[in-house]
Amino acid sequence: MTEHPVISVVVPVFNEQDNIAPLVHEITAALRGCIAFEILCVDDGSTDATPTALEALKRDVPELRVIRHLTNAGQSTAIRTGAGLARGEWIATLDGDGQNDPADIPRLWAQRLRSPPDVRLFAGWRTQRKDSGSKRLASKWANAIRSRMLHDDTPDTGCGTKLFERRAFLELPYFDHMHRFLPALMQRAGWKTVSVPVNHRPRASGVSKYTNLGRALVGVSDLLGVAWLIKRAKFPAFEER
């Protein structure tokens, strides 16, 4: 096992047998010699050869830890599982499809070192998205509606590239799809967030696990729920005497 990590890179993975090995090797290339790290790949009940690929990677990548959900539980749950088991004080996340660039993690960390201590989330901002036109349009509308309702001052909450403090994340209210609302939830808890432009790449292999309709159907109820959480939040200043 690697030395005590500063950053734990959590990668939720579901049926990404051809993408996961190149991604893990890119993470090690970006971080070795730069910062102490570990990689937690959380296999969310894959039904293809992803588990085999991950086991093979463990022989060559000592920083890699593999956790497997016995049933598919969704991306937010996979991230929470990884964060709960992580040894680093800070968590970096990347999607398992390889569209996020591991080279952005050192950039997010550099931004963290330049920022005040009350900034606990650095959210990737895909300024040049490499998705289909329909997906870009759907995300544009979703981001506009979310921003209007939640006032989270975040142009892109759907980007998988993020860096956040582990303890602050684990104290947030947990629910399915919460990963899409992390800036608003962090701000609700009293922390500041910063958006950082990051790279975005076309999917090299496999298919997306989400559809525009599927996102829309769950997004409406989730958005209303987060708005309710923000409205009902109370975090008073206190002192011990």
pLDDT tens track for 98-136: 999 999 999 999 999 999 999 999 999 998 876 556 566
Among candidate residues 99, 91, 79, the one with its CA nearest the CA of residue 203: 99
pLDDT digits over 167-202, tens only? 999 999 999 999 999 999 999 999 999 999 999 998
Rounded to an integer, what distance in angstroms lies between the CA atom of residue 19 and that of residue 205? 7
Residue 204: pLDDT band by 50, 70, 90 thresholds? confident
User: What's the pLDDT score for residue 79?
Assistant: 98
User: What's the pLDDT score for residue 200?
Assistant: 93
pLDDT surpassing 90 at residue 238: no
User: What's the pLDDT score for residue 80?
Assistant: 98
The DSSP bridge pattern shows strands 162-165 and 90-93 to be antiparallel
Rounded to an integer, what distance in angstroms lies between the CA atom of residue 12 and that of residue 74? 9
pLDDT digits over 153-170, tens only? 888 888 999 999 999 999
User: What's the pLDDT score for residue 215?
Assistant: 54
pLDDT digits over 49-85, tens only? 999 999 999 999 999 999 999 999 999 999 999 999 9
- Within 10 angstroms of residue 121's Cβ, the number of other Cβ atoms is 24
Q: Which residues contact 205 (CB under 8 A, 6 or more apart)?
A: 16, 18, 19, 98
Enumerate the β-bridge partners of residue 37: 7
Q: What are phi and psi of 2, to 5 degrees?
A: -65, 165
Enumerate the β-bridge partners of residue 198: 126
User: What's the pLDDT score for residue 212?
Assistant: 47
In the CATH scheme, what architecture does the domain 7-232 have?
Answer: Alpha-Beta Complex (3.90)
Global pTM value: 0.87
**Which residue bears the tokens 């892109």?**
156
Residue 224 CA neighbour count, 13 Å, CB half: 5
